[in-house]
Amino acid sequence: MIALQSVSKHFQHRGKPVAALANVTLDIAKGDFVAIIGPSGSGKSTFLHLVGGMLSPTEGKVRIENDSLYDLTSDQRSALRKKKIGFVFQTFNLVPYLTALENVQVPLVLAGLAEEEQQRRAESLLGRVGLSDRLDHKPSELSVGQQQRVALARMLANDPALILADEPTGNLDPETSASIMDFLVELNGEGRTIVMVTHDLRVAGRAKRALRLVNGSIQADGQARPMPGTSASPAEQTALSIN
């Protein structure tokens, strides 16, 4: 599904180069659920934006299925995101002046769906995340948990095969976090590939595998390292071993 080949990303900070990603080579298979963990500034978000086609690498290639992302034009990458990728943000990034229903409709508007179809699909998705009674509420009239669920519904609007989640539970209480993670696991169970960056090891533990990103490098060869003699899932074992 996703293939990174010798990907590096350098930024300039006060005239000096800073390596956000350094020679990362990684394969993520279709249907995988990968947690990228690491401390702040380790390059997690850079990694996610790079995979999402929003940040070109300094070196290397990023492939989504058969498309070499950065051999496409900016508008072609936008079209690919619209078709195949769903984003979940830590701060939800809902449009503040639109209702929950309209927020979910945004990707459908961009996809050029008819208004009736947009409305039907948005209502269905909000029903799926348990917000059928909050269709006309603006983000400011919803709790943070509800806002993230609207964001999840919006992310699902175009039925993406790949979900990129940037600290999806970063602003949530433990109980709401758990329900959001349940939902992501459920989506992964439907065959969607999920790449999630987080600094929360418990959240990372819900993924199928976890990769540790330190100073722009994936530790080991990008594979999960199960801890022998434990009953924890491979991701939880990796998380614990990193910890």
Partner 1 sequence: MKLQTLVWREIFERKNQLATSFLAILLGVSVIVAMKNITFYSEKAVAYQLDALGANILVLPKSASLQDYYSADMQNDEFPEEYVKRLTTSDLQGLDNLSPKFSIPVEVTGRRYILTGILPKNEFQAKAAWQSVSIFTRPEACGVAVDVPGLAAPAKEPLVRKRVVQTLGTNEVLIGADMATALKLTEGGTIQLMGRSFKVSAVLPQTGTVDDARAFTHLHTVQQMAGKGAVVNAIEIVGCCQQISQGLVQKINQLLPDAKVATITQIVDTQIKTNRMMSRLSLLFLTIIVLVGGASIANYMFANVFERRREIGTLMALGAGSHVVLRMFLLKAVWLGLAGGVGGYVLGSAMAAILGPRVAGVPVFPMLTPLFWAVGVAVLVCVVATFLPARRAARLDPSAALQEI
Query: What mask, x for binding partner 1 by CB under 8 A, covers residues 22 to 61?
Result: -----------------------xx--x--x-xx------
Contact positions with partner 1 (CB under 8 A) in 86-145: 87, 89, 91, 93, 95-98, 102, 105-111, 115, 118-119
Query: What mask, x for binding partner 1 by CB under 8 A, covers residues 156 to 185?
Result: --x---------------------------
> Per CB under 8 A, does 199 bind partner 1?
no
CB of 28 to partner 1, least distance (A): 19
CB of 43 to partner 1, least distance (A): 11
CB of 6 to partner 1, least distance (A): 20
CA–CA dist 215, 217 (Å, integer): 6
Q: How many residues bind partner 1 (CB under 8 A)?
A: 34
Joined tokens for residue 224: 């999960």
CB of 95 to partner 1, least distance (A): 6
Residue 34 phi/psi, 5° resolution?
-110, 130
Binding site for partner 1 (CB under 8 A): 45-46, 49, 52, 54-55, 74-75, 78-79, 81-83, 87, 89, 91, 93, 95-98, 102, 105-111, 115, 118-119, 154, 158
